Structure 1
Amino acid sequence: MRKGLKHLKGVFGVILLLVSAFIYAMFQGGFVSWFLFYLVIPLSAYSFLLFFYSISKLEVERTIETRQVFSGGRFSATIHVKRNNRFPLMYTSFEEKVSKNLLQTTSKQITFWGWRKEFKWTYEIEHIPRGEHELEGVIMRVSDLFGWVWKEAFIPSKKTILVFPNLTEMVYIPIETRYDQGATASRIQTMKDTSMATGVRAYQPGDRVSWIHWKSFARTQTLKTKEFEDRQSQDLFILMDRSPSPLFEDIVDLTASIMQAIVRNHSLSAFLSIGETRLYIPTVQNEEQLHRVLYHLTKVQADLKKPIEQVIVNDSSLAQVTSLLYLTSKISYEWIESIQKTATNLRVCTCFLVKQKDLKLTQDEIAFHQYAASRGFNIQIITKERFAQAFLEVNRS
């Protein structure tokens, strides 16, 4: 109703202008006054015709120029608008209607359309944020010379675009692939690799039946048990912290880069993300599984309302973890205690602690890192500029 009143207000303004010009010409007389009156007539006639002209019957086609978009990058698209007549359109503006998280980055186009049936408009969005964004359609506005009579129409043309996290190329080096020869002592327990027998020993009560060396028993009639080499697994369990943090976008970028590096190295990993929703993928080994992780990381938000140490205590997926990589921007004593209670088979735990560049550690943080190291946890401070060297720094420490 308000829009209708505004439109009628513009029409009344044009009528008032036309009547005023006529009265002025009648009373004033002369060439100039009548010239002004006749000049106003075509402009007023156009305003009346525009008032009754329908701009809703338009066709819109959108072509995405950027094939794959990453966080903070540039997005480009071309809008192609068609109509079935040549009614002259003067001041015409186009605007892409987008989802709320893109309102600050959208752009407009103002043009003099004229008699053309088609119009193309290419726009760009700089520094587009990560996420799943909806392009809903085009808002078109047309006005007369005075801006009194104007028309507006929305032409729907839905399109969903995915803006992926920034992916950093990195060389993946398994964090812990050492056998017992040369391995350093750790409070985190090791596990025997039952696929690699290194010898036999006398049977002891409690040994598993599957460990008995039956060929030796057939020869000597004495029970012998296979001996296995202690090994630490190359398979990683990736745990991402979704607690609110100013560095959350960096954590997402680091997580996505690590998952890509692991898959390209033909290694195996598991992935867990906990927040308002929980995503657990027990095996990430191929491109399809990696795409599932990246799709999750595209939409994920820092929506973990409870402290993460309270959430992971009841998570069964951590119970059998042997090698853990934790990605976060903050870590606490409570988290270490929760992990040790939950992951009872844990042998190796590395924490990538994302920090701002040139930020110095406080004395309390240094003391905490020493405490974590004494409990078998390896904390690696990493900044965005050094994501590519993440695994190299772990192996040097």
Structure 2
Amino acid sequence: MTKWLGQLKKLKGVTGILVLLVATFVYAMFQGGFISWFLFYLIVPLIIYSLFLFFYPLSKVEVERTIETRKVYSGGKFSATINVKRKNRFPLLYVSFEEKVSDSLQQSTSWKRMTFWGMKREYEWTYEMEHIPRGEHVLEGIIIRASDLFGWVQKEVFISNTKTILVFPNLTEMVYIPIESRYDQGSAASRIQVMKDTSMATGIRSYQPGDRVSWIHWKSFARTQTLKTKEFEDRQSQDLFVLIDRTASPLFEEVVDLTASIMQSIVRHHASSAFLSIGGSRLYIPAVQSEEQLQRVLYHLTKVQADLTRPVEQVILTESALAQATSLLYITSNLTYEWIESVQKVTQNLRVCTCFVIKEKETKLSSEENALNQFAASRGIHVHVITKDRFAQAFMEVSRS
């Protein structure tokens, strides 16, 4: 039934202009005179053009899209150029182009264009989307609409040209200071960086993906033509464990931005951390230390939503990955008494627990929040209230405490 209605709608314009042609001809025949025949001959070319437009193969138009913005970050600007080509010069009057996008981009603007195409074979159009939200978005294709002079005949065609774009979280360059690290041989805490001591090579092993070029044993490669990697004394006995809170919050985007920035800073400084994200989907990576692993985390944080439906303190009680954590970094916008009690129950070997609690700039803590922070401190949990403009100094805030 819907298909038949669509066909009738397409024929509506043609039927109308044919009725108009017959009506003006009958009027000229019975009325006579210069004016009536002038009106008839004036309408004839317009109707002929409309009929040609009705049969014009608009679907044979070729569309190419060129992405101008290589990497897009949350709240940034996205730009693309659309190139439309056809093989003939049939005059097209009013033509509109629209980029059909997924629902996640419906709030964006500036992806429509109307023009007088004329007889040109090629048309190029560049559009921008501003304040594009974080996430995975799909550009589905181009909708082309053409109309005659008075809108009697209107044609529309959708040309599929699917392209997926990723809008990454905003990444902040950070001054990285390890929260806690120590040698395997001792138990005293020290502020040394969590990394391999490259001044103390202990042997060589087979090359593994992710090993840095500076670790390759070139003398062995020259002899055997097989890549070998130097082994160093490992100064790391306690990797950081990063946990993100995916509870719905007005500051969830800031939580994602800070988490992504911290993970990038850790990897870029050759350190290592575990990463856990729990919600509608779960991602746990025991050790994030290579660029490939970092990109996996960033891809997850690009698509992640605030979809944790149960209280986070209930979820972590059943999370076995946290049981062996010794240095925990929790990123949230709402710390609770229940979370503090739950994390102490589930973590058996926890030595250091740090919480970044994100707040709006110039927001003053209430008496209840101050009491909560003091309660956390009494349990050995270090709480740092941080605003978006202080993300770059996040690790320095911890080192000063």
What TM-score bracket applies, with the shorter chain setting the length? 0.7 to 0.9
Residue of structure 1 in register with 2:19 after alignment: 16
Q: Which amino acid aligns with 2:141?
A: G
Aligned residue number for residue 61 of structure 1? 64
8 Å CA contact retained: 1:260, 1:290: yes
Matches within 5 A, 1:1-397: 1-106=4-109, 107-177=111-181, 235-397=239-401
Query: Could you tell me whether the CA contact under 8 Å between 1:232 and 1:347 is conserved in 2?
Result: no
Q: Is the 8 A contact 1:174 1:234 kept in 2?
A: no
Which secondary structure does the structure 2 equivalent of 1:112 belong to? strand
One-letter code aligned to 2:115: T
Counterpart CA distance in 2 for 1:235 and 1:383 is: 26
The AA in structure 2 aligned to 1:317 is: A
RMSD after superposition: 1.9
Aligned counterparts of 1:180 and 1:293: Cα–Cα separation in 2: 31
TM-score (norm 1): 0.85
1:137-188 CA distance string (max 9 Å, x none): 11111111111211111111111111100011111111234787798xxxxx
Query: In structure 1, what is the Cα distance between the partners aligned to 2:126 and 2:30?
Result: 52
Q: TM-score, normalised by structure 2?
A: 0.84
The Cα shift of 1:37 comes to 1.6
CA separation in 2, counterparts of 1:182 and 1:160? 47
Structure 1 residue 362, shift from structure 2 partner = 1.2
The alpha-carbon deviation at position 28 of structure 1 amounts to: 4.0
Superposition deviation, residue 298 in structure 1: 0.5
Displacement of 1:232 in angstroms is 9.4
The 3-state SS of whatever aligns with 1:56 is: helix
- Give unpaired runs (5+ residues) of structure 1: 184-194, 196-230
Tell me which amino acid in the other structure corresponds to 2:54: F
Deviation at 1:26, TM superposition (A): 3.2
**Distance of aligned partners of 1:244 and 1:88 in 2 relative to their CA distance in 1, 3 Å threshold:** same
Alpha-carbon distance, 1:15 to partner: 1.8
Task: Please give the alpha-carbon distance, in whole angstroms, between the structure 1 residues aligned to 2:189 and 2:312.
Answer: 35
* Contact 2:60–2:86 (CA under 8 A) maintained in structure 1: yes
The answer on whether the counterparts of 2:78 and 2:129 sit within 8 Å (CA) in structure 1 is yes
SS in 1 for 2:59: coil
Q: How many residues align?
A: 351
The equivalent residue for 1:188 is none
Q: Which structure's CA Rg is the greater one?
A: 1
